[in-house]
Amino acid sequence: MPELPEVETTRRGLEPLLTGRTITAVSVYNRTLRWPVPHDLAHTLPGQAVQAVERRSKYLLLRCPAGTLLVHLGMTGHLRVVPAAEPLRKHDHVELLLADGRALRFNDSRRFGAMLWTGDDPLAHPLLRELGPEPFAAAFDAASLHRRAHGRRVAVKPFLMDARTVVGVGNIYASEALFRAGIDPRRPAGQISAARYARLVTAVRVVLTEAIAAGGTTIRDFADSSGQPGYFRISLRVYDRGGEPCVACGTRIRLVRLGQRSTYFCPRCQR
């Protein structure tokens, strides 16, 4: 599933291609995504100019004068800007024609993505209003993590992946950040000191920054807005390396399941 670096990579690729462009027509070829594509989208969007391309958590926000288009990539979704005359591909579900002769197309083979519209403040939308802080925001700090974790028995990895704790830290990057912070992903969140949470906050930001610079991580389906894969996978230190030697100490990386998710860690480096 695309995580924050993949979504941010897509946002950065789309921003110069969409900002200031006017949408002239909308074609919906398949409404049955995770939530149905609104029936009135073809009447609402034409004539709207894209004022900004933003991101909140794993949602892309295309801001227009009359409202905001919310896009979630789901597990296999991606957006690309192509010449309008280019033939459609299999699983192209929604197409926004632009006044410059190009088209924004949403492709999603598994149809777990979404494309929704709101005329109100998008941050107050039911999908966004309960989300925690962004990982690069000042509100994501050691004190708030330590306070939120107080008394919690849940393992720190699912605690970190909870979008109410911080948004956008999915399975891959949680594993990588915990390794760099030297924290065992199985340790109860309430048994971690504020000092160790400070190291974890730094590790999360470093890992995400490196992943964004690399264009995200391609494990299976992700490609950015130009169709290029992400290359952070070559920098992964623990994720998907079960049984291989730790890059720091040589101990074999262990694989366990936490919260129904594959979890990789070094039993020697992470305590």
Residues marked as catalytic: 2-3, 58, 261
Whole-number Å distance between alpha carbons of 136 and 123: 17
- R_g of the chain, CA atoms, integer Å: 20
